[in-house]
Structure 1
């Protein structure tokens, strides 16, 4: 079971069957007011907020609420830069609407957002609270928003960092004092950079040095509604996030893979597309896992056949380009940045705050695609084939489609390099023997003089 426990107003529990939110008695009235509000109705209508279902009183005077399950939850350390930016913009959209309606987000961490396909959705109902006349002015969650979104996106754009290395090491994001010293001097000239990075970094250094003078966060103007600077602050943050998102785009070796496949002749590539398309059209899988999805060409074929697809790849730039395409064109594909050979672990207190990637993938897919991936896992990661197929059997409940690449293939020779002699026993029969305890061969298709597609069925 995974659970949350940091919010004193309530907690969320996932027992594998349902997502249950428990609202404590002290927060019952405020939560019910939100559920009855026009703000809640509008956020649900536009898909910005997770829906509350089957709201009922609990034995201790609080509420119990069911939420729809996101197919495969992903966490900020599995996102691409564009996904992090989309989560930031969603948070700003919700806060802007809430502020106009007399509400506010009391906290704004990245892990309050989940992705349903390529669409972000706010999953923390209790983060929305009614503004009160005696509240301090400004957006109280501003600092947390900067730590979770602005500074990580800046570190990605300027330092080449990734959401994975940031959020696995820093649950509460980055501090301005950690990031500011590494920003080029010319990048400090803009107002947004000064406001959201330089000024907070200076205040942090003063605080560490022992200066306890009161600090004022942007948006905290004198308590005069007409002088409220929060709408301007939210607009400024939106523009800054959009600029950072544009500057974080990059091209990697594998992100150019689809358009520049020197190891495939056109006829061979078309044979591969035809085989994949025929399989998804005939089987009509409901859920597909594309391991090594790269730019998502075959994920898109599965999605067009009506499947919900998880596109998994360790190349963050290729996956980032895929997410941008999905966001702009719309497809039921969810991107997860992870290495299948070194999957994301369970994290948090008692390892219950986030689930490991294998746990989330287990038994979920009736079709798993591994196209030109197995040889990478065997050669680059040195994974034993029997253990690899045992792991694949755990997440595949139906068909496994993989591409066998022999030793004499140019790409195999490239990755094996000086270690080629270690793989003298590498053959199609060796691979099939390793798969036999968990899978049986149903179909075998040559797509080139070197490569073979294997359709395996779970035993």
Structure 2
């Protein structure tokens, strides 16, 4: 291998191994302290069975001669299947997080029945591939020790249960809470948010109220907590399995009541005529067939209609982004139902996920993770330029940074949608015009095609970066 290997910036917490990027591949090292555990699990076919059941990401053990120079000191290096688009829990819908939680519990149950467990319960250990969750942290698996407790219980509550409960009980999206603290939603905080009626539930009382009380006691008197833990009896395996199954049954019943939203019924209520919508679909299809992108991002995907057209037309992988939680939720259900290589994400493009965590490198920002071959951005520019006062030239600079090829829709000021936006704010957008928009776009790109939609003044620009 060439000497193009560097450590993943978020890979510093685990003493069992580290993740490296190497010439487009994902490599995982197995540290000395973890070699015995790894070999025992391999001998028992735990890894193979987990992969075959669809729980764990596929991987191979790399031959020593293929080790990068930086990893020559390791005895075991793994080459894992690469997930093209890494997403985070604060970019998922309620049902994405719910499915990830159930996947984690199913995997834990499967492992425990084979005398193995997961060492932690981080939601970041799960990614989505072809509409389904997959566990990616190979080194999280370890042999079960007789009588051990669920070490990842607190983390599971913070990363999965609590964010789901705030959606189910209070009808509040978890995303801003999780983004504000990448450790998840603190149980003590959730206990303060819930009211008396919320806490009547046996499960809520047990896993939120009582846990919150114990956590606060631990802060006040950690020595007493340690002494109590030392006196605990062994936790029977049957009790461990019962607890996991109880969590699974409970979480499976949690639901989020959808509120009315801008794009919730976009396919029925929009300003396109049938003719112009059909024409738009054909333009998207032609664009994708010509480019044949490996990776495409659909910015402002609405109900995912054009993301699906992109896949049907030859795009291998699509990331669909929108700030409307109902639209993204619907897109996710379509992706899951049809097993599409489509990743829907809830992101406000005017305030996307930032670089954060330790040294602001642990979790990468939206733009750092989503460079693609092609981008389609249909009916979003006015939301940023008019809605958020983003200058046209800055919008162009931002959007062309996603990929070499693009299809971009311009909504003129005369359009009904823009007029509705201007009805509640001062029109300070003197440079917002087709002529000026096209001028700014042509400075940074080659405009390959210009389409004016039928029965509309809307324009689609196909461009290529110079």
Assess same fold via TM > 0.5. Answer: yes
Cα offsets for 1:344-379 (capped at 9, x unmatched): 2222222322222212223x22x3111111111111
Aligned partner of 1:154 in structure 2 is 165
Cross-structure match for 1:233 = 243
Q: Which residue does the alignment assign to 1:264?
A: 272
1-structure distance, mates of 2:132, 2:226 = 36
Name which of 347, 350, 357 aligns with 2:359: 350
State the match for 1:323 in structure 2: 332
Tell me, yes or no, if the aligned pair for 1:19 and 1:67 is still in contact at 8 Å.
yes
C-alpha separation in 1, matches of 2:326 and 2:224: 43
Check 1:214–1:426 CA distance in 2 against 1; reply closer, same or farther (3 A cut): closer
**What does residue 67 of structure 2 align with?**
none
Aligned in 2, Cα 1:390/1:175: closer, same or farther, shift over 3 Å? closer
1:303 to 298, 311, 321: 311
1:416 and 2:422 matched: yes
Residue 397 (structure 1) shift: 1.6
Once residues 428 and 310 of structure 2 are traced to their aligned partners in structure 1, the CA distance between those partners, rounded to angstroms, is: 36
- SS in structure 2 of the partner of residue 83 of structure 1: helix
Equivalent in the alignment of 2:116: 103
Q: Go from structure 1 to structure 2 and tell me whether the alpha carbon gap of 1:408 and 1:56 turns closer, same or farther (over 3 Å shift).
A: same
The match for 2:301 among 287, 293, 298 is: 293
Of 193, 201, 205, 2:212 maps to 201
Deviation (angstroms), 1:179: 0.8
Which among 271, 274, 281 is matched to residue 273 of structure 1?
281
CA RMSD across the alignment: 2.5
**Aligned equivalent of 2:105:** 92
Report the Cα distance in structure 2 between the residues aligned to 1:368 and 1:40, rounded to whole angstroms. 37
Worse-superposed segment, 158-167 or 307-316: 158-167
CA distance in 2, matches of 1:264, 1:357: 30
Q: Which residue of 1 aligns with 2:80?
A: 67
Measure, in 2, the Cα distance between the counterparts of 1:54 and 1:105.
20
The 2-side partners of 1:19 and 1:251 are apart by 41
Give the deviation of 1:62 after TM superposition: 4.0
Across the two proteins, how many residue pairs are aligned to each other?
450
Matched, 1:26 2:33: yes
2:437 matched residue in structure 1: 431
Cα contact 1:50–1:123 (8 A) shared by 2: yes
Between stretches 11-20 and 426-435, larger displacement belongs to: 11-20
TM-aligned CA distance change 1:269 to 1:59, over 3 Å: closer
2:28 counterpart SS class: strand
Q: Match for residue 390 of structure 1? A: 397
Alpha-carbon deviation of 1:103? 0.2
Note the 1:210-229 alignment, pairs <5 A. Answer: 210=221, 213-214=224-225, 222-223=233-234, 225=236, 228-229=238-239
Aligned residue number for residue 194 of structure 2: 183
1:80 alignment counterpart: 93
CA distance in 1, matches of 2:243, 2:226: 17
Match of 1:406 in 2: 412
Q: Contact 2:444–2:465 (CA<8 Å) still a contact in 1?
A: yes
Rate the CA distance shift 1:191–1:6 in 2: closer, same or farther, 3 A: same
Pick the aligned partner of 2:253 from 234, 240, 243.
243
Kept in 2, the 8 Å contact 1:26–1:62? The answer is no
Distance in 2 between the 1:265 and 1:223 partners?
67
Q: 1:26 to 1:158 in 2, by over 3 A?
A: same
For residue 407 of structure 1, give the secondary structure of its aligned residue in structure 2: coil
Gaps of 5+ in 2: 1-5, 65-70
1:314 aligned residue (286, 304, 323): 323
| Stretch deviating more after TM superposition (248-257 or 96-105) | 248-257
Q: Distance in 1 between matches of 2:444 and 2:18?
A: 39
Q: What corresponds to 1:360 in structure 2?
A: 369
More moved, 82-91 vs 183-192: 183-192
Residue deviations 1:10-58 (CA, integer Å, cap 9, x gap): 1112367322212211211211222333321122123321222233566
Deviation at 1:154, TM superposition (A): 0.9
Q: Give the TM-score taking structure 1 as reference length.
A: 0.90
Separation in 1 of the partners of 2:177 and 2:28? Answer: 28
Q: TM-score normalized by structure 2?
A: 0.89
